[in-house]
A and B are shown apart, each in its own frame.
Chain A
Amino acid sequence: MIITNIWGKKMSSKEIAKERLQVILVYDRAKIEPKMIESLKEDLIKAVSKYLTFEPDNMRIELSQEDNKSILRIDIPLKE
C-alpha cells in the first residue's frame, strides 16, 4: 500500500514504519517524552521573546543522535 507523507512524497508502509521508529527511538534512547519537547518550545518562545524579536513559527527544535550521544538542536532565526 502506498501512502503519501506530510511532504507529499509517496511512501510505502515499510518506509513509514522505518521513519516512525527512527524518530521514536531517538526519544527513547534519550529518555525524553516527545511531548516534553513541545512544552520546552513554548517556554523557550516566552523566554527568548523577552530579549529578542523572532517569528515563533520559524523556530526549530530537533532531537538527534550522533555517536551514541543525544543532541538537542534549537534554531531560532531572528528578525532583522
Chain B
Amino acid sequence: MGKSIVITSGKGGVGKTTAVANIGTGLAMRGLKVALVDTDIGLRNLDLLLGLENRIVYNIVDVVEGKCSLKQALVKDKRLNNLYLLPAAQTKEKEAVSIDQMKEVINDLKIEFDYVIIDSPAGIEHGFKSAISGADEAIVITTPEVSSVRDADRVIGLLEAYGLRDPRLIINRVRFDMVRNGEMLGVDDLLDILSIELLGIIPEDENLIISVNKGEPIIYSGNKYKSALAFNLIVKRLLGEDVSWDELEKSESFIEKIFKIFKG
C-alpha cells in the first residue's frame, strides 16, 4: 500500500502544481511508482507542466462516472514509465467528484502506486476538502508574502481540523538576497509565525518559467538550477534522508558569485 500526499496552499499561484510536478517526477526518477492526481476540476494545469496535455483521453470525472476504468484514465509520462497522471476534467463543474468518490479513487491508486501526490485547487471549499480527503499526509506551500502566509495559516488550521496532523511546509520563491537585506520574510520568520515543520525551501528561479514553457519539470536537469536542487532536497527529505538546508543557500550564493564574475 502506497502513501498519499496532498499539496495545498489556500492562496492560488504560489506554486502548488509546480511542486506536485517536480516532487512527483523526482520520486519517479528514484525508481518509485508514482501517480499524480489533478483535483482542480475545471481548471486543469498539471498536464501542461508535465507536457502531457495532448495525451489525455479520459479524466477523473470519467472514472467516477464509470465511463472508463481508472487504468484507462491514467496517462503515462513521456520519459518515465513509472510516472502517471490522473488528469482533472476541464469542462465539468467543481463538484463533479464527491468527497467519497475522491477518497475511493485515491485509495485505489494507493494499491498500485508507491506514492500518490494530490494537487489541490486553490481555496478552502469543496475542491480543497475533496483533495485532502484521501490524503495520508499534507504539504502546505507558501511564498514569503503576507497574504500567502495568512492563507497558509488558515489551511494549516483546517488540515488539522480534518485530521491531517502535522502538515509540513514548503516555502517557495525565496530571495535570499532580499531576506538578508531585511526586505523579505525569511525561513526562520515563517517557521516562527506558522509553527510547522519545514520540508523545503525553493529559491526564486527564472528557469522554472522556462521549464513550464517547455512542459518539462525542472528536476530533470538534476542539480543544474537552484530550484531543481531545491526540489531534489525536498524529495530526499520526503524519503526520510537527513537534509541540511544550508546546502541550498550556500549553493545559491555560490552560483550568484559565479554569475557576478561572468557579468564582470
**Interface residues of A, Cβ cutoff 8 Å to B:** 1-2, 12-15, 17-18, 20-22, 24-25, 28-29
Query: With contacts defined as CB atoms under 8 Å apart, how many contacts are there between chain A and chain B in the complex?
Result: 38
A12 contacts B183, C-beta separation under 8 Å: yes
B146 contacts A14, C-beta separation under 8 Å: no
Contacts of A24 in B (CB 8 A): 150
Instruction: Give the secondary structure class of A's interface.
Output: helix
B149 contacts A21, C-beta separation under 8 Å: yes
A29 contacts B184, C-beta separation under 8 Å: no
A14 contacts B154, C-beta separation under 8 Å: no
CB-CB contacts below 8 Å: B185-238 with A = 185-186, 189, 192-193
B193 contacts A25, C-beta separation under 8 Å: yes
Closest CB in chain A relative to B103 CB, distance in Å: 28
CB-CB contacts below 8 Å: B143-157 with A = 146, 149-150, 153-154, 157
B186 contacts A25, C-beta separation under 8 Å: no
B150 contacts A15, C-beta separation under 8 Å: no
A18 contacts B193, C-beta separation under 8 Å: yes
Interface centre among A15, A21, A22, A25 (most CB of B within 10 A): A21
Q: Assuming A17-B146, A18-B185, A18-B192, what are 15 further A-B pairs, CB within 8 angstroms?
A: A1-B183, A12-B182, A12-B183, A14-B179, A14-B183, A14-B185, A14-B186, A15-B182, A17-B185, A18-B193, A21-B146, A21-B149, A21-B150, A24-B150, A29-B157
